[in-house]
Structure 1
Amino acid sequence: MLVPYSWLKEFVSVSLSPEELAERLTLTGLEVEGVFDAYEDLAQVVSVRVLAVSPHPHADKLTVCKVTDGAKNYQVVCGAKNVREGLKTAFAPQGVILFTGEKIAAKEIKGVLSEGMLCSPYEIGLSLDHSGILELPEDTPLGKPVTEILGLSEPVLEVALTPNRGDCLSIYGMAREVAAVCNASLKKPELPNLPLGEDIFSETSVTIEVPELCFRYAGRLIKNVQVKESPFEIQQRLWLCGLRPINNIVDITNYVLLEVGQPLHAFDFDLLEGKKIIVRLARAGEKILTLDGVERTLDTETMVIADAKRPVAIAGIMGGEETAVTEKTRNVFLESAWFNPSSIRLTSQRLRLSSESSYRFERGVDPEGVILGLERAAKQMADLAHGEVILGRIDEYPSPYAKREIRLSPKRIKLYLKVDLTDDEITRELEKVQVKVTKGVEDFICEPPSFRHDISLPEDLIEEIARLYGYDKLPSSIPVAEIAGKPPSRYEKVSKKVKCLLRALGLYEVINYSFISPQFVSLLGLDENDLRAKPLALANPLSEEQAVMRTTLIPGLLQTAKTNIFRERPDVKIFELGRVFLPRKGEVLPEERHYLSGLLTGRSVPISSHRTERHVDFFDLKGILESFFENLGVKNIEFVPKGGEPFLLPALSVLLEVKGQKIGFAGALRPKVRDILDIEQEVFVFEIDFEKVLEAVSFDKRFRALPKFPATTRDLALILQDAIPAQELLSFAKELSLPHLEEVTIIDVYRGKPIPEGYKSLTLRFVYRAPDRTLTDEEVNKIQEKVTEKFLARFEAKLR
C-alpha cells in the first residue's frame, strides 16, 4: 500500500522523518519496503526557453516550437495558447513519466516530429490548471529540474501488509498504527451530521436475500449532482496512491476508500430498474458487463447487487457498466457494505477479477465503519458535486457485529515474554491499539476493536504487547527441550527398506500431489460400487486438475510417465509410497491408507552396442515383484491370474495374495486407457496395500551352512489342461511336505504338436538333498514315485 506522508500527518501528530517512521514501523511488524518521492519520476523535466514559435502546417490550433535547455535544442508540437517566444517553461523529453502516469515518447503529430512535451501545471502535479503550459520566472536557470525549481516533494511510504492486517489498508488505519507505535496523538475522522428521516424509503429499498454473505448494507440517495472533474487535491492524492481520477463522484468513493478503508460504490440511480437494490446470488446464465469492459457469465455461487431485473454489480468486487456514473448522471445511489470475506475471495478467484474493493473485503473491513465511510462520501458529494442528500439512510444489518471478549492472564504474559509488566503497563500497551481492558479478579477482560479481525486469542494480545513494548527490550532466552530418541516405528523401518529395495531393482522414487483430476478416476473405468470411484471432492480446489483426493496412486504415476514420454524420455521405471484417501460410510473424513505403486514402460535396459534392444514386459514386472517380496521376507506370496482390474488387460494381470488375502495387483494397462493418455508404448503397473504388507514382512534372517553333500534332481513332465496355472502346481508341491525336498522349479512349458489342443506340457524339476549323507537313487526314486502319483491324481494329468 502507498501512504503519502503529508496525508498521514493529517490524522496523526508525528515528528519523525519518513525514513525514521519507516524503520519504526518495520521493527514493530509492519514492513515498509521503501520510502520514495512521488515526484522523482519528474527529475528529467527541465526548464527550457522557447526560441521560436511557428504555425503548424497541417493544424490550425497547433504550433511548432523550438526550445533549448542551454545544452541542446528540441522541436516540440504544442497546443497551448500561452506559448510564445522567450517564455521559460517546463519540458519533458521522451522517456519521462508525467505525474498523471502518461509516458512521453517522440512521435509525429499531424506529420511534424515532436521530441517531447511542454508541460502544464496539471501534468507535473502542481495544480488543476491544464489550460496552458507552465510559466517560469525569467531568472530561472535553463536545464534545471523543475521539481527543484518549484520545490516539489512528496514522500510516500510503500508498506507491505500481511493478509491479517486489513485494518491498515487506509490512511486512517495506518495513522492508528503510527499513533500506537509512536505514542502520538490520533485525530479521528469526523462523522458528518447529515439529515435523517423517512424520505429515502419512498424512493428506493434494499433487500438482502443472502444474510450469511452480506452482513450489512447501507445506502444514501444524493440527487441533482453535477458530474465533473474533481478538485486537484483529490486527484493528486489518488495519483499518489496509484489510482486514476475519473470524475468527482467516482473519485470521492475512491478517496474515502483510501482515507478510512471502507469500499463504496455509486450507481446511477435513474438507470436502476424498479429503483430498488437486491443483494442475492446470481441466477444460472446471468451475465454482466463490468466496468473493465468485459462481459462475464456468472454462476449461482456469485453474490451480486441487482435491481428489479438484472445484476448491476458483482458484490464487493466491481460495478456494472450499465449503471455506471457518467457525465449524464444526475441522481446517485451510494452503497456501503460489509460482505463475507470468504465469499468475496472465492468469487474473485473464480472470475480472476480483483479490485481495490475486493482486496479490502477479502481481508475484512470494519463493520462499524460502514456508516462512517457512507456519510463522509455523501457529504463530499453534497459539497463538491452540489448534490442534495435525501432525508434518511438505509441500513440493513441482518448479522450485527458481536463484540469479542478475551481473557488474558498476566502469568501467561510473563511466561511468553519473560518480562514482569505491571497491570498499568499491560493496560496502557493494549489501549494504544484501542483494546478495551477491564481488570478482573485474576485476569484481564479484553475487548478488541471491531476493525481488528486478527485479534481473537490471548496469544494475539500478547503479541500486540510485545511489539508495542519493543522486541528489542525483551530478554533473549534459549528454549530448553529434552532430547529423547525413540526407536523407529515398524512403518518407518519397512518403508526405508522398501525404498532401498526398489531403488536397487532399478526404479526411481517419485512424489506426486494427493490431489488429482476427476477425469483420471473415470479414466480407470472403476465400478460404481468400488470405493476408489468415489473420491473426496475439495471445497476450494486450486484447479480442476486438482479437484479430488486420490484413492489410488496409479493416476499420479501415469501423469508422471506421460510427462516424461512427451519430453522424449520414454524409458520410465518409477514407484511411489504415499497416502490414498478412501471414503468411509457415514463419515465425513476419509480413511487414509498407505499404498505402494510402481510403473514400468519403455526399454528394459539402455541402448548398447553389445545388447539387443528389448522393451519391458509383464515378466519384468513380475520378476521385480518376486525379488521385492523375497528380500522383504514376505512368504507365501501368490500371483493369481486375471487380476480383475478394469484398466488392466485380463491376460496380462494378476492379483497379489498372501495366504488368500488380496494385498494388491499388477499388470499391463489396457490400450484404450493408453489411447486416452496419448501413450503408444506398453505400460505396466502394480499397486500394493502397504499396510497389509507391513503385517507380512519378516526381518528375521536364518543362515545355514553350505551343503556338504551333493543334490539329486528328478524331472516330472506332465500333460495337463492349459487353464491350470503353473503356480498351482508349485503350491501343491510345497503342501506335500516331502522329505529331503530342497526346491521345486518349472523348467519348461510347451504347447503344440503332439500335445492336444487345450493342453500343455509342463516340466517340474525337484531337487533333493540330505544334510547328513548322500541320498541313494533308490531313496529318491521312492519319493518321486509317490510325488508322481499324487500329481497325476490331483491335476488329472498324464506323463509325457
Structure 2
Amino acid sequence: MKISTKWLRRYIETSLDPFEISEILTESGLEVESIETVETIKGGLKGVVIGQVVACQKLPDSDHLYLTQVNIGKEIPLSVVCGAPNVAEGQKVLLATVGTTLYFKNEPLFIKKAKIRGAISEGMICAEDELGLGTSHDGIMILPPDAPIGMPAAQYFHLDEDVVFEIGLTPNRTDATSHIGVARDLHASILARRPDVHSRFQKPSVAQFKTDNYDYEIDIEISDPHACIRYSGITLSNVHVGESPSWLKELLQSVGIRPINNVVDITNFVLMEMGQPLHAFDADKIKGKKVIVKTLPEGTSFTTLDGIERKLDSSDLMICNVKEGMCIAGVFGGLDSGISPSTRNVFIESACFNPSFIRKTSRRHQLFTDASFRYERGSDPDITIYALKRAAILLQEITDAKVSSEIKDVYPSPIRPVEINLRYSQVDRLVGQHIAKEQIRFILQNLEYQILQELPQALRVSVPTCRIDVTREADVIEDVLRIYGYNNVSFREEIHTSLSYFSYPNDEQIKWEIAGMLVGNGFYEVKNNSLSFSQHYSLWSDERQATL
C-alpha cells in the first residue's frame, strides 16, 4: 500500500524527515518496503528556466522557423531556433536548456545543441504540453511580464517533490489502510520513543457539516443484515461534475490513483484518507428513490463499470434499486448508475459489509479493487457517518453541491466495542521486561483505546472499532510492545534451553541405510501386516488359519 508523506503531514505535525519516519513505521509494525520520490511533473522541469526573447527574426530559407536570442540571465543570450507561430520579441518564455530531458506524452525528449538550417540552436522554447503543464500545443507558453529572468521553472511554478512509502501491510492491520491510520501509529510511536521530537496528530473536522435542504430523499433497506452490517447514505444536488483541483489530483496520483472527475476523486480521497470506501451513484438513476441491499437470483446478468457483462452468484451481495442491481456491493460499480458529466444529483454510499461476502465475490469475479481490499479485511462500522460528512463537505467546496437530505443510517445490530482486562503482570511476562504502568496507559490512549477502569494491577480497556483484529489480552500487549519498541526490549544475560539426547549411531538410521543398500542391489523389501488381536481371526476357517 502506498502512503504519501505530503499527504501524511496533513494529519501529523512532525519535524522528522521521510527516512526517519520510515524507520519508525517499520519498527512499529508497518514495514516500509520501498521509498520512492514522486514529482508533480515527470522530470521536475529540471533544466527549464525563464528567459526573455530579446531578438526574433525569420530564419532564411524557411517559411515557419524563427531564429531568436533568449536572455536567461547570463552574459550572452542563447541562440534558439523556434517554430512556434506566436513567438515574438519581448516575451517571457520557458526555455529547456541543453542537457535537459523533457517527457512529452510520457516519452523522453533529450535537448541537445543542434544546427538547424545552418543556425545554431542552444535549447528549446517550450509549449505547455511539452512541459507537462497543460494540453495546448498551439504555440509556446508565454509568461507574465513580471516573471523573473533566469528563475528555474520548478521554483516559479512551486513544484514539490513527494516521498511515497510502499508499506507491506499484514492482513490483520485494516486500521492502517489509510493515511490517518498510519499517522495515528506514527504519532504514538514518536511520543513513546522520541519524546524530544514534536508530534501533533489531528483528524479533519466535520463540525461544519450541515444539511442545506430536504428536497431529495432516498430511502435505504437492508434485506440481508448478516451480509450488510451497516449502510449509510446521503444525497447532494446541484453538483457540477468536472475536473478536480490540482491539489486533489496530485495527491491521488502520488499513490497511484488516476483522477477521473471531482465527484469520484473525492470518494477516492476519503478512501485513502481514512480507509472507508465510498461509492457515488447518479441519484436520478436510482429507480423508485430507494436503495435495497440484497442478493439477486443465480445467473442474473450485470454489466460492471468496465463494460463486462457478468453472471451473478446467488450469494453476491448487490446494491439495488426497486427494479435492478446498480453495484456489486463493496467490489465494483455498475455501468448504468455511475457518475457522468451530465450528473446533477448524487447519492453517496458509506457502508460496512461482512468481509467473507466481499472476499468470495471479489475472487469469484476476479475483481480486486481498493474497496474490496479493505472490505474483505473488515472495515470500521463506526466510521461510515464521519466519512459521509467529510465527503459532503468536500463536495460542497469543490462542486458547489447542496446537501439535500439528512444522513440515512440503517444499522440493524450495532457492534459493541470489545472490552478487555489488561494485567500489568501479563504485560511484563510476555514482553520479557517491566514496562511502567504510566507508559502502558499513555501508549493505549494515543492508539485511541478508551480506559474504562483503572485497578492497582490491571486496566479495563475498550478497543477502538477500527481494530477488528484485537480480541484478546495478548493482542493489546502486542500493540503496547510494537509502539514501545521491539528494539527497546533488552537481552537477558542468561540463556534458557533444553537439550535432547540421541544415541550414536542412530539405530533407525542404520536400518534405513541397510534397507536402501539392499534394495539398490536387487533385493525386494517385504512389509508385513502389523500384529492384530487373535480374536480377529476366530471366524476364519481352519484351513485359512493354517495358511496364516
Length-normalised TM-score, structure 1: 0.55
SS in 2 for 1:229: coil
Q: Which residue of 2 aligns with 1:449?
A: 464
1:163 aligns to 2:171 (yes or no)? yes
Match of 1:464 among 479, 489, 492: 479
Question: 1:206 offset after TM fit, Å?
Answer: 1.1
Within the candidate set 72, 91, 94, 1:89 is matched to 94
Residue of structure 2 in register with 1:154 after alignment: 161
1:32 counterpart letter in structure 2: V
Q: 1:633 to 1:234 in 2, by over 3 A?
A: closer
- Maintained 8 Å contact 1:121/1:133: no
Change (3 A) 1:236 1:493: same
> CA offsets, 1:608-636, max 9 Å, x none?
xxxxxxxxxxxxxxx96xx423xx58699
Instruction: Provide, for residues 568-611 of structure 1, a one-character-per-residue CA deviation record: whole Å limited to 9, x for no partner.
Output: xxxxxxxxxxxxxxxxxxxxxxxxxxxxxxxxxxxxx9xxxxxx
Deviation at 1:323, TM superposition (A): 0.7
Q: Which amino acid aligns with 1:316?
A: G
* Residue in 2 that maps onto 1:140: 150
How far has the Cα of 1:199 moved from its partner?
A: 4.0
Mapped to 2, the partners of 1:29 and 1:376 lie a distance apart of 28
The match for 2:324 is 310
Q: Which residue in the other structure is 1:42 paired with?
A: 43
SS at match of 1:235: helix
CA contact (8 A) 2:80 2:125 kept: no
Residue 217 of structure 2 contacts residue 405 of structure 2 at CA under 8 Å; is this kept in 1? no
> Taking every aligned residue pair, what percent have the same amino acid on both sides?
30
Residue type of the alignment partner of 2:380: D
Pairwise CA distance, 1:130: 9.9
Corresponding residue for 2:276?
A: 262
> What secondary structure sits across from 1:342 in the alignment?
helix
**Offset of 1:203 from its aligned partner?**
3.3
8 Å Cα contact 1:282-1:300 kept in structure 2: yes
1:371 corresponds to 2:385: yes
How far residue 427 of structure 1 moved from its aligned partner, in angstroms, is 0.9
Q: Secondary structure at the match of 1:365?
A: coil
Aligned to 2:499, which of 479, 483, 488?
Answer: 483
Distance 2:348 2:508 in 1: 67
Output the amino acid matched with 1:89.
L
SS in structure 2 at match of 1:363: coil
Matched AA of 2:173:
R
Q: CA deviation at 1:249?
A: 1.0
Aligned in 2, Cα 1:633/1:286: closer, same or farther, shift over 3 Å? closer
> How many Å apart are 1:2 and its aligned residue?
2.7
Q: Deviations over 1:414-445 (max 9, x none)?
A: 11223323322221121121112221353211
Change (3 A) 1:286 1:633: closer
Q: Is the 8 A contact 2:213 2:403 kept in 1?
A: no
CA 1:485–1:148: 2 relative to 1, 3 Å: farther
**For residue 33 of structure 2, what is the aligned residue in structure 1?**
33
SS at match of 2:406: coil
Match of 1:172 among 148, 156, 180: 180
Contact 1:192–1:379 (Cα < 8 Å) also in 2: no
Distance 1:404 1:138, change over 3 A: closer
Residues 485 and 147 of structure 1: is their aligned pair in 2 closer, same or farther, counting only changes over 3 Å? farther
* CA 91–321 in structure 1, closer or farther in 2 if over 3 Å, else same: farther
Q: Residue by residue, what CA displacement relative to the aligned partner does 1:274-324 show, whole Å, maximum 9, x if unpaired?
A: 221111113211122222232222111211111122211111111111011
Q: Name the amino acid aligned to 1:6.
A: K
d(CA) in 2 for partners of 1:96 and 1:499?
A: 70
Aligned to 2:107: 104
Assess, with a 3 A threshold, how the Cα gap between structure 1 residues 501 and 119 changes in structure 2: closer, same or farther.
Answer: farther
What is the DSSP-based 3-state SS (H/G/I as helix, E as strand, rest coil) of the residue aligned with 1:221?
A: strand
Residues 261 and 360 in structure 1, CA contact (< 8 A), matched pair in contact too: yes
Q: Give the secondary structure class of the aligned counterpart of 2:298.
A: coil
The one-letter code sitting in structure 2 at the alignment partner of 1:139 is I
**1:452-489 C-alpha deviation (Å, 9 max, x unpaired):** 222222122212222222222211136624334599xx
Q: CA RMSD in A?
A: 4.4
Q: Is the 8 A contact 1:405 1:445 kept in 2?
A: yes
Q: Call closer, same or farther: CA 1:498–1:363 in 2, change over 3 Å.
A: same
- CA drift of 1:28 comes to 1.9
Q: Deviations over 1:227-275 (max 9, x none)?
A: 1111111112111121111111111111111222211111011112222
Within 5 A, what are the aligned runs for 1:621-632?
Answer: 627-629=525-527
Q: Unpaired runs of 5+ in structure 1?
A: 58-62, 107-114, 508-604, 606-622, 637-657, 663-727, 738-800
SS at match of 2:314: coil
Measured after TM superposition, the shift of residue 661 of structure 1 is: 11
Report matched runs for 1:784-795 at 5 Å. none
Q: What is the distance in 1 between the residues matched to 2:281 and 2:510?
A: 65
Any idea what SS the aligned residue of 2:34 has?
strand
Q: In structure 1, what is the Cα distance between the partners aligned to 2:240 and 2:159? A: 32
1:332 Cα deviation from its structure 2 partner: 0.8
**Deviation readout 1:505-552 (Å, 9 max, x if unpaired):** 479xxxxxxxxxxxxxxxxxxxxxxxxxxxxxxxxxxxxxxxxxxxxx
Retained in 2: the 8 A contact 1:95–1:103?
A: no
Letter in 2 for 1:482: S
Does the CA-based 8 Å contact 1:94-1:104 persist in structure 2? Answer: no
Match of 1:667 in 2: none
Indicate the residue corresponding to 2:438 in structure 1.
Answer: 424
Cα deviation for residue 5 of structure 1 reads 2.3
> Which one scores higher on RCO, CA 8 angstroms, separation ≥ 6?
2
Q: 1:45 touches 1:90 (CA, 8 Å); kept in 2?
A: no
Give 1:336 deviation, angstroms.
Answer: 0.6
AA in 2 matched with 1:628: V
C-alpha displacement of 1:208: 0.8
Native 8 Å contact 2:351 2:384 kept in 1: yes
SS of the equivalent of 1:19 reads: helix
What SS does the aligned partner of 2:418 have? coil
Aligned to 1:705: none
Distance in 2, matches of 1:733 and 1:469, equals 75
Residue 326 of structure 1 aligns with an amino acid whose one-letter code is S
- The answer on whether the counterparts of 2:164 and 2:254 sit within 8 Å (CA) in structure 1 is no
1:348 Cα deviation after fit: 1.1
Larger Cα Rg: Structure 1 or Structure 2?
Answer: 1
| Residue of 332, 354, 361 corresponding to 1:347 | 361
- Write the mapping of 1:208-227 to structure 2, written as runs, cut at 5 A: 208-227=222-241
Quote how far apart the aligned CAs of 1:152 are: 2.7
Is the 1:197–1:393 contact (alpha carbons within 8 Å) kept by the matching residues of 2? no
Question: Counterpart amino acid of 2:310?
Answer: R
Is 2:128 aligned against 1:120? yes
- The match for 2:314 is 300
Which of 181, 185, 191 pairs up with 2:200?
185
SS in 2 for 1:321: coil
Inter-partner Cα distance in structure 2 for 1:131 and 1:177: 50
What's the CA shift for 1:124?
A: 4.1
Alignment of 1:320 onto 2:334 = yes
Residue type of the partner of 2:107?
I
Indicate how the Cα distance of structure 1 residues 410 and 732 shifts in structure 2: closer, same or farther if over 3 A, else same. Answer: same
Residue number in structure 2 paired with 1:4 = 4
Q: Which runs of 5+ in 2 are unaligned?
A: 110-122, 192-198
CA contact (8 A) 1:13 1:185 kept: yes
Number of residues of Structure 1 aligned to a counterpart in Structure 2: 501
* Alpha-carbon distance in 1 for matches of 2:278, 2:547: 87
Contact 2:48-2:100 within 8 A present in 1 as well:
no
Deviation at 1:412, TM superposition (A): 0.9
Distance in 1 of aligned mates of 2:138 and 2:412: 51
CA distance in 2, matches of 1:180, 1:232: 32
Question: Structure 2: how far apart are the matches of 1:138 and 1:410?
Answer: 65
Q: Does 1:333 align with 2:347?
A: yes
Kindly provide the amino acid, as one letter, of the partner of residue 153 in structure 1: D
Is the partner of 2:336 in helix, strand or coil?
helix
Is the Cα–Cα contact under 8 Å of residues 206 and 393 in structure 2 kept in the other structure?
no
SS at match of 1:265: strand
Q: Does 2:239 align with 1:236?
A: no
* 2:2 aligned partner, one-letter code: L
